[in-house]
Structure 1
Amino acid sequence: MPPEEHPTPAARETLPSFLSRVAAYHLIDLPTFLEEMGLPVRGTLSGEDGSVERLAEVARISPADVDELLSWSGVAIGDVRMRFRDEIFVTRALRNPEVRGCPACLREDALRSEVGGVAAMVMRGHWQLRYVHVCIRHGVDLAPLWRERQPTRRFDQLPHLREIEADLTAGVLDGLDRTPTDFDLWLDDRLAHPMVGPALGQPSLYAAAELCQLLGEELNVDGEAGDDETGRLHAALERGFRVLRDGDAGLNAALHKLLRRRADPQDGAKKTFGRLYTRLDGDLADDEAFDPMRDRLRSVILRHWPIAPGERVLGEVIQVRRCHSVRTAAAEVGLKTATLRPILVERGAIPADDTRPDAVLTFDAERWKPLLEEVLTLVGEKEMAKRLGISRDQFRSLADLGLFEPFVANPSIKRPWRRADANGFLASLLPADASTIERADGWIGLQKAAPKIAGGVRYILEAVRSGRLATARLAREEGYPSIMVREADVARILPEDWETDDGAMTVAAFQKRVGLSRAGSFARLVEDGHTPSTTLMNIATRSLRRCITAEDAAAFHERFVTAKTLAEERGVPTKVAAAEMKNRGFPSFQVEDVAYDGIWLRGDSADGLGRRTSGMKVR
C-alpha cells in the first residue's frame, strides 16, 4: 500500500525530483509511472513537453505548481539555451553528468517526512547551477552524489539515492565546511527573487556569473589557490563578484591590473587577458549578453596596443587606429624609430624617461595625428634653401637671425624644418597683389638693402612686414631673390630698433631679444623704472633713443627672467619653459595693480625650475 500522504512540491524542487517522489508514492519506478500516465519519459523529465495541464493532473498539483517546478528545473529553448528562473543560461551551465547536492539537506528531508528514506529526499534546482558550490543553509560544499551521462537515467533519482543511502546517512559524502561568500548570498537571492533588475550591470544573470568567474580566475595574479578545485572556483567567483559589484570603477581597475601584469612588454592582448579574452572571442563570441564586456575590453586593448585599421579585435574589424607605437608611427611617416622617437619626446607625445621598446611604447594616435602629419612635411636645409631660391649658407644666416624656427629643436634631427614655413616666409614679404617689375632700375633686393639701414636684414624684413616698405617681384627671378624694394624708400626707413657694435640696443630690440616682442611688457617695465636703461644716439640717423646697454641687460637678467631666457639657461625649447611656468602657477611680476605679463622675478619660483648655466648670453 502506498503511503497515506501524497507528495507536494518542496521549495526549489525540480520537476524530475518531484515526479520521482510521486512515482515512489505509487510504488513504481519513474519511467514506468510516466509511461502508465501517458507522458513521454524523456520529454517530460527534460521539461520539453509543454503539457502543463496533464502534468498537473497526474501529479495532483496546480498548473502554477508545475510552472514553479519547471522554473527550478530549467526548460530548453533551442539547442544550447535553457530558461531557468526567468533567466537564459547556456545548457551546460545547468546540465552535467555529475549530479551534486547537500547530504545534510537530504538527511533532513528524510527525517521530516512520514515517508522517510530516499523516497522523501528532494533535489533542489539551484544545486544544478555550476556557479553554486556551497549550501548556504549548512555552510558546506555541495557533494558529488552520482554520475550518469544518459539524461533519463540521470533524472531517475531514486535508484541512485538508494545506492548511496548508507553513505548519505553516515555522513560519508558530506562536503567540506565552507563559509558562504557575498557572491553565494547574492546569487541565492537572485535565484529566489528573479527579475529584480540588472545583474551587476550585465544584461543577464548568466553573463554576470560567468564574468565573475572569468575575472576572478584571471585576477588570481599571486597564484592564490583554493585547497581543492571547488575552493579555487569558489574563491574566483567571489573575487570577480567584488569587481563587478563596484561598477565601472571596479571593472576599469581590474582590467588595468591585468594590463600591468604583462611579464613581457611585447605580450599580446590574448596572452595578457588570458581566458577572459579567449572566451569572449571564442565560445561566447555570439552571445550578445557579453557584448558590453567585449566592448569594454576592446576599448582597453585599443588604447594600449597599436592595432591598425582592418585588424579584427574581439569580433570587430577596427576602423580607426586608437594608438600608435613608436615603431608603427615611424613606419607610417617613413622614418627610423631612432629619428622619430626624439621628436615625439620633444613635442610631448611620449615621456623622455620611458625606456620601453619602440614596439610597445604607445601614444594616442588621434591626439598626435597632426604631429605625424607635420613630421611628414619636414625637410632639411637643402630643401628649405631650394624653396627660398637661396644658398644653404644664406638660409643658415636667416635662421641664425631667428627668422626661421625649427619645428624640432633636437640638433640630432637632420630634417627639422617645415616646408610651410618657407612658403609662409615668402608670402609675408610679397603680397599676392604685389606688382611685377621687368627691370630693377631704382629697386634693390632685400639682402643688398640690408647694409643701408641700421639693424641689417632683420629690420628690412620687419619694415616690409609692417607695411613701411612696399615690395615688388622682379620678373625672371624666383623666391627670396625676386623680392625687391625701392632704394629711395630704404633711405627713409628709421628702424624702431637697432643695435650697436658694443651690444647696446633699443628697448624694442631688447624686448624681442628676450622673447617679449608682442607683449610690450618690457617697455612698460623700463618706463616704470623697474629696470635700468640708457639714452644713446643712433649715429646713422642722429636721433636719440632709450637703449639697453650690456650693463642694463645684465641688471635685468639678474633680477628677472622670461620664458625665452629661462629656456636658454636650461637648454630647453621656449615653449617647454613657458608651459612649465604656467603649469606651476608662477605669477608674472606685478606692482600694485600693474602686471608685467611674461616677466617673472628671478627668485624661488624661476630658480626652482633649475638652471643649466650660471648666466645667459645677452647677444
Structure 2
Amino acid sequence: MIVLQPHLPFDPEETTLSFASRLAVLHTGRGMQRLLRDLKIDMPGLVSGRSAETAALAAAAAIPPDGLLANRIDVRQTHSWFRGERLAKAFLSPRAARYCRACLAEDGDVGSWRHRLIWGFRHVHRCDRHALWLTPTADASATSLHAVLAPEGIAQHAEVGDPHPEYLSWLRARLEGEPLPDDDWLKGQTLEQVLNASEMLGAILEHGHDVRVTKLPPTTDEQATDIGFSIYREGPEAVTEALDTIHGASKAAAVQAGPLAYYGRLFDWLDRRSNAIDPGPIRDILRAHIVKHFAIEPGTKVLGEEVTVRTSYTLQSLSDELRMDRRRLSRLLQKIGKVPSGATDRESGNLIFDAAETLPLIEAFQSAIRLHDLPEYLGASRRQIETLYRAGLLRPLVPMVSAGAVRNVVFARDHLDELLAKIAALPTVLDADRDKYHSAPHACQRGAGPFETVFPKIMSGDIPCHRDPGKRGIEALIVRLDDVLGGPLPA
C-alpha cells in the first residue's frame, strides 16, 4: 500500500469526499480520480461511501480510519446509511452541492477548501458558523468543490446575518457527539426523524394543511423547521398540543371528513410517503390523536396499525350500536349535556363521543328510575323523596342546574341500588326489643330534626340505626330515640 507524503490531517467537520479531494489537489494537482486510480481504490465505491474503499483511503493517508468512516455517507439504491441510521437519500448528500463562502475564504487556497458534512443536510440552508445562506454550486452532483468552483468565486461574502436557528445548534451538537441536557426524547430518534417531524409540524402550523414543504424557499423552510423543532423537542405532550391546534384549524365540515382533511400533508406524509424510512414516534402520536378524535371502527388500519378496540363513536355509529333512533338519541344526548342544546343534525353529526364515558351514561339513562317512581322503588313516601331530592341527597343523572333538568328527572339505578344495599346491610332487632325502636320519620317528628338532616347521618353511621325486617327501603329504617336525641325523652 502506498503511503502518501507529505501528511495531510483529516478535519472531523468535512466529508470523506472532501478529504479525498484535498489529498488529490495536494499530491497530483488534479481531481481525485487520478489519485484513487494510482492508489487502486475504486472511485465509485468511495463516492458511494463503501467502508472498504474508505478504510483504504485512510490507510494511504496514514490517518486513523474512524473519522473517515464516521463521516462517510453510505449511499444505496433506495436509501443511505449514516452512523448507523437509515436515511432517505435526499435527506443527506455527500455531494458538493452547496457551500459557505465565508468558510472557504477562511480555509485559504483552493487546496485547503473543505466541504463541511453539515452542508449536505437537506434542512440546512445557512452556515451555522457565519449565519450566511449557503450558496449552491453549478453542479449539485459534483464530488468536490474543486471541480466546480474557481478561487475568485468565493473571494467576497455577505455580512453576517441573523443568529442561526435552534435546530442547527442541536444538529451540530449531535454530529460532534456533544452531550445534550434533557435530550432523552430526541436521543432515541434519528436525525431525519427529528428534523422531518419538526419541518412538517412547523410548516402546517405556519402555512396551512396544504403546504408542500419541498416547494418552500430556504428562508421559509428554515423558519418552519425551527418553529416545529421548538415544539417537537419538548416531547409527546407538546406534539399532541400542536396536533390539537392543527385539527382545530381544519376547515373540514362534512360528517364524513377523515384524517386527511384534518391533518393535511402531515397525515399524507405519515400514511403514504414515509413507508421506506421509519418516521419515528410522531406516527404513533398522530395515530393516538386520530383514534381519540375519530370514530374508528375496530379492524381498521390507521397509519399502518390495526385498531382493535373502539374508543369513540359518531352520533350515527352510536345510534347503530344502541339500536336507537338517531333523532331520539340526539335529544337524549342533549339532555345529558353531551350535545349542545338545539344543535343541528350536521353539528351533532360531526361530534365524537368517548365510548368509555358515553356508553355507560346512556345505559344508565336507559335503565334509570323516574322521579315519579322513586317512592315505590326506595320504599318511601313521596314527601320524603321530594325532600331528599331538593336537599341533593338523591342525585339525578342530569344535574339540576342543566337545561331541561326540571322535566323527566331520572336517577341511575346503580346509585339507588347502592343506597338500598346499605339499608339492607343494617342489623335487624329482636322482636323483644322492637318496642324500643321507632321509624326514622317518627324520630324526626319527636325532635330529632329535619328528615334531610337525619337521613345522611343514618347512612354515614353517625346515628345508630337498625332495620325492620318486615319492611324494605327507607321505610325499614328504625332508631332508638335516645340515639337521635342524645338522651332519654322527658316524661
TM-score by shorter chain over 0.5: yes
Q: CA deviation at 1:11?
A: 3.6
Relative contact order higher in (CA < 8 Å, ≥ 6 apart): 2
Matched residue, 2:19: 18
- Provide the residue aligned with 1:358 in structure 2: 348
Conservation of the 8 A alpha-carbon contact between 1:201 and 1:244: no
Structure 2 unpaired stretches of 5+: 416-447, 458-491
Post-superposition offset of 1:354: 5.8
- What secondary structure, in the 3-state scheme, does the structure 1 residue paired with 2:168 have? helix
Partner of 2:284: 295
Identity of aligned residues (%): 24
Q: Which residue of the other structure, out of 272, 295, 309, is the alignment partner of 2:262?
A: 272
Q: Letter of the aligned partner of 1:573 in structure 2?
A: V
* Partner residue in 1 for 2:334: 345
How far the C-alpha of 1:299 sits from its partner, in A, is 1.1
CA distance in 1, matches of 2:128, 2:54: 31
Aligned position for 1:35: 37
The corresponding residue for 2:9 is 8
Using the TM superposition, give the Cα deviation of residue 276 of structure 1 relative to its aligned residue in structure 2, in angstroms.
1.6
**Within 5 A, what are the aligned runs for 1:64-463?**
64=64, 66-76=65-75, 78-85=76-83, 87-95=85-93, 99-110=97-108, 116=109, 118-149=110-141, 154-162=142-150, 165-171=151-157, 177-193=161-177, 198=184, 200=186, 202-220=188-206, 229-266=217-254, 267-285=257-275, 287-288=277-278, 290=280, 292-352=281-341, 357-370=347-360, 402-403=372-373
Offset, 1:337: 2.1
Q: Distance in 2 between matches of 1:96 and 1:352?
A: 62
Partner Cα separation in structure 1 for residue 114 and residue 261 of structure 2? 45
Contact 1:310 1:317 in 2 (8 A): yes
Structure 1 match to 2:381: 509
Matches of 1:401 and 1:261, distance apart in 2: 44
For residues 34 and 211 of structure 1, do their structure 2 counterparts lie closer, same or farther at Cα, with a shift above 3 Å needed?
A: same
SS in 1 for 2:329: helix
Classify the secondary structure of the residue corresponding to 2:260.
helix
Q: SS of 1:185's equivalent? A: helix
Over 3 Å counting, the alpha-carbon distance change for 1:280 and 1:350 in structure 2 is: same
Q: Distance in 1 between matches of 2:44 and 2:5?
A: 29
Gaps of 5+ in 1: 111-115, 379-398, 406-457, 467-507, 518-556, 580-589, 600-619
Contact map agreement 1:324 1:362 (CA 8 A) in 2? yes
User: Aligned letter for 2:173?
Assistant: D
Shift of the alpha carbon at 1:139? Answer: 1.4
What is the deviation of 1:368? 2.6
Amino acid aligned to 1:131: H
SS in 1 for 2:118: helix
Aligned partners of 2:351 and 2:405: how far apart in 1? 31
| 1:517-536 CA distance string (max 9 Å, x none) | 9xxxxxxxxxxxxxxxxxxx
TM superposition shift of 1:511: 3.6
Contact 1:82 1:90 survives alignment (8 Å)? yes
CA distance in 2, matches of 1:342, 1:308: 24
Instruction: Give, in angstroms, the shift of residue 158 of structure 1.
Output: 1.6
- Once the two structures are superposed, residues 4-53 of structure 1 have per-residue CA deviations (whole angstroms, 9 ceiling, x without a partner) of 96432224111111111111112232111111111111102222151455
Return the alpha-carbon distance in structure 1 between the equivalents of residues 59 and 393 of structure 2.
95
Mean CA deviation greater in 280-289 or 268-277? 280-289
Q: How far has the Cα of 1:201 moved from its partner?
A: 6.1
CA offsets 1:295-339 (integer angstroms, 9 cap, x no match):
211111111111112222111222222111112212333443211
Q: Write the distance in 2 (CA, Å) between the matches of 1:119 and 1:296.
A: 49
SS of the aligned residue for 1:83 comes to: strand
Taking the aligned partners of 1:596 and 1:201, their CA distance within structure 2 comes to: 63
Alpha-carbon distance, 1:362 to partner: 1.2
Larger radius of gyration: 1
Q: Distance in 2 between matches of 1:21 and 1:242?
A: 38
Shift of 1:91: 2.2
Q: Distance in 1 between the 2:372 and 2:143 partners?
A: 89
Matches of 1:35 and 1:80 in 2, distance apart?
28
Check the 8 A contact 2:45/2:53 in 1, yes or no.
Answer: no
Q: Quick check: which one's strand share is greater? A: 1
Indicate conservation of the 8 Å contact 1:203/1:289, yes or no.
Answer: no
Cα distance change on mapping 1:145 and 1:286 into 2, 3 Å? closer
State how far apart, in whole Å, the 1-side matches of 2:8 and 2:371 are: 103
* d(CA) in 1 for partners of 2:72, 2:232: 27
**Is contact 1:326–1:362 with CA below 8 Å preserved after alignment?**
yes
Task: Give, in whole Å, the separation in 2 of the partners of 1:34 and 1:20.
Answer: 10
* Structure 2 counterparts to residues 516-555 of structure 1, below 5 A: 516=388
* 1:464-479 correspondence runs (5 A): none
Distance 1:318 1:6, change over 3 A: same
The offset of 1:191, in angstroms, is 1.2
How far off is 1:348 after superposition? Answer: 4.3
Q: How many Å apart are 1:81 and its aligned residue?
A: 3.7
Question: 2:263 aligns to what SS in structure 1?
Answer: helix
Give the aligned residue type for 1:70. Answer: L
State the shift of 1:281 in Å. Answer: 1.1
The structure-2 alpha-carbon separation of the partners of 1:569 and 1:122, relative to structure 1 and needing over 3 Å to count, comes to: closer
Indicate how the Cα distance of structure 1 residues 215 and 597 shifts in structure 2: closer, same or farther if over 3 A, else same: farther
Partner Cα separation in structure 1 for residue 371 and residue 198 of structure 2: 66
Shift of 1:220: 0.9
The amino acid that maps onto 1:219 is: L
Shift of 1:86: 5.1
RMSD over aligned Cα atoms: 4.1
Q: CA deviation at 1:185?
A: 1.2
Closer, same or farther in 2 for the Cα pair 1:513/1:371, shift >3 Å?
Answer: closer
